[in-house]
């Protein structure tokens, strides 16, 4: 039977997508979860897997065209007996013939990460209870399902087959009283009502001189511009700066760099800064929070975003549950996310749900900066260039001048919920962790 395939929703605030490249042409065969096309949004480029076994019958949206979420972009032929609906638009019912599902949710669309996990573990997507938006199956849902299945295997006594009904129900959430403005959001959390923001009146046309060229804004550049202006209008920004001695970190890295390389991992400075940031967020939980009109929302998850520069802008992949990872685990994740960010192969799940952000502007030689908060978070840590400088040190009670590798840390915070003393306590904790790393 034929199935209409619609432009999927690749993020909470994403309303449209651009067909970057069709990986299949009309008449080509399709295998379930096989990459079928590339879709570009203002946040991420991602491969969209085929939702069925069959053939691509018709392409309705050409490469380079931008259409709203839910627009039919192709027609597929489903040759499998159990049809997987191809419609990922939350407000539109699936077009394919519905089949019985234990979870009853609308989990038809799968991100590439979920698709790979389902294929790797040979799972039936209909058996997994989805806790994502509109019942979609998330990476965490699959991992939880696999863990429960594996736990049940060694049980000696006959046990009833686990069913998705045994999956713990997701914790209830408090929905925002109003729809948040389109900006990176924290899924399933109580979101702040955006401060009343009126865009400035349209500026008069800029006079163009002979030889000037007007370049159109890319979707990413337009989104960055809007978000930066909105962030400054939403949060009263304050920045505090401290200087940190990285002698201990550099010595540790030199000592363990070869060990990490033998395990296929390049040890950079970023994982050290992430670990120190996690320690600061644990010591001062209000930094890992969001301001709302109903109160201050303290986040239990510690999801650290790291800003990565790419040719046409900036993207912030997120290290989810960074507090649960070792230095080796953080190094693997940092390297993987950074590499795929630069090659535009991140998925939508990997750029959302951040609760705090770090930006290493020092890689380009900058000593210190005043970064802009990534809404709706409450702070962002800027990391300056590492430079050898003469500093005063105390050795056996006597002062001396020594050459040390120094770095400026600048912490920009939302003054609505964080005061100066609180911000300094957080930054001092980060500094302490870096200077006394063990």
HSE, CB side, 13 Å, CA atoms: give it for residue 163. 6
Quote the CA–CA distance of 315 and 344 in Å, as a whole number.
9
Q: What is the DSSP string of 115-130?
A: HHHHHHTT--GGGS--
Active site residue 293: no
- The strands making up 72-78's β-sheet, listed across from edge to edge, are 2-6, 72-78, 54-59, 29-30
Quote the CA–CA distance of 304 and 326 in Å, as a whole number.
14
HSE, CB side, 13 Å, CA atoms: give it for residue 340. 20
- Which of the residues 320, 419, 424, 436 is marked catalytic? 419
What torsion, rounded to 10 degrees, do the Cα atoms 289, 291, 296, 301 define? Answer: -20
Query: Which two structure tokens, joined as six digits, stand for 29?
Result: 């065969």
Query: Which two structure tokens, joined as six digits, stand for 360?
Result: 């290493």
Distance of CA 39 to the CA centre of its chain: 17
Quote the CA–CA distance of 156 and 64 in Å, as a whole number.
57
- Alpha-carbon Rg for the chain in angstroms: 24
- Which of the residues 28, 323, 415, 424 is marked catalytic? 415
Q: Which uninterrupted H or E stretch holds 227?
A: helix 219-234
Active site residue 320: no
Coil, strand or helix: which one is 272?
helix
Q: Are 350 and 317 in contact (CB under 8 A)?
A: yes
Angle, alpha carbons 274-275-279 (nearest 5°): 115
Pairing, β 66-68 against β 72-78: unpaired
Angle, alpha carbons 54-125-93 (nearest 5°): 75
Q: Are 409 and 431 in contact (CB under 8 A)?
A: yes
Q: Are 379 and 238 in contact (CB under 8 A)?
A: no
Quote the CA–CA distance of 305 and 288 in Å, as a whole number.
12
Instruction: Please report, for the chain, how many H helices and E strands are present, in that order.
Output: 7, 19
Catalytic residues: 415, 419
């Amino acid at each position: 039977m034929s199935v209409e395939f619609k432009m999927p929703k690749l993020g909470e605030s994403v309303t449209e997508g651009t067909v970057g490249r069709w990986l299949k042409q009309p008449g080509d065969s399709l295998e379930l979860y096989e990459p079928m096309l590339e879709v570009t949004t203002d946040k991420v480029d991602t491969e969209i897997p085929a939702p069925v076994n069959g053939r691509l019958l018709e392409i309705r949206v050409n490469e380079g065209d931008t259409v709203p979420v839910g627009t039919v972009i192709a027609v597929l032929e489903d040759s499998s007996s159990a049809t997987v609906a191809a419609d990922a638009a939350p407000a539109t019912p699936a077009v394919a013939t519905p089949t019985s599902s234990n979870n009853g949710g609308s989990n038809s669309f799968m991100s590439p990460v979920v698709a790979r996990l389902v294929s790797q573990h040979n799972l039936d997507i209909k058996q997994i209870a989805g806790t994502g938006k509109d019942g979609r199956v998330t990476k965490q849902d699959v991992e939880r399902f696999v863990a429960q299945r594996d736990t049940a295997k060694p049980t000696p006594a006959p046990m009833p087959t686990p069913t998705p009904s045994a999956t713990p129900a997701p914790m209830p959430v408090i929905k925002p009283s109003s729809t948040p403005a389109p900006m990176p959001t924290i899924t399933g959390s109580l979101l702040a009502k955006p401060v009343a923001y009126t865009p400035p009146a349209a500026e008069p046309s800029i006079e163009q001189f002979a030889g000037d060229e007007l370049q159109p804004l890319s979707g990413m550049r337009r989104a960055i511009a809007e978000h930066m202006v909105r962030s400054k209008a939403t949060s009263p920004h304050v920045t505090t700066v401290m200087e940190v001695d990285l002698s201990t970190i550099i010595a540790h890295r030199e000592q363990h760099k070869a060990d990490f390389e033998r395990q296929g991992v390049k040890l950079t400075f970023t994982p050290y800064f992430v670990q120190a940031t996690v320690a600061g967020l644990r010591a001062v939980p209000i930094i890992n929070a969001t301001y709302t009109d109903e109160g201050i929302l303290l986040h239990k998850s510690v999801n650290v975003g790291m800003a990565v520069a790419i040719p046409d802008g900036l993207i912030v992949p997120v290290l989810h549950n960074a507090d649960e990872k070792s230095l080796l685990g953080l190094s693997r994740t940092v390297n993987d996310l950074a590499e795929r960010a630069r090659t535009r192969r991140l998925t939508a799940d990997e750029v959302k749900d951040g609760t705090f952000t770090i930006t290493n502007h020092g890689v380009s030689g900058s000593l210190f900066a005043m970064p802009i908060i990534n809404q709706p978070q409450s702070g962002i840590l800027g990391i300056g260039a590492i430079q050898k400088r003469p500093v005063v040190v105390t050795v056996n009670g006597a002062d001396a001048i020594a050459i040390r590798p120094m770095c400026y840390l600048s912490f920009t915070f939302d003054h609505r919920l964080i005061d100066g003393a609180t911000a300094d306590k957080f930054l001092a904790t980060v500094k302490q962790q870096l200077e006394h790393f063990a």
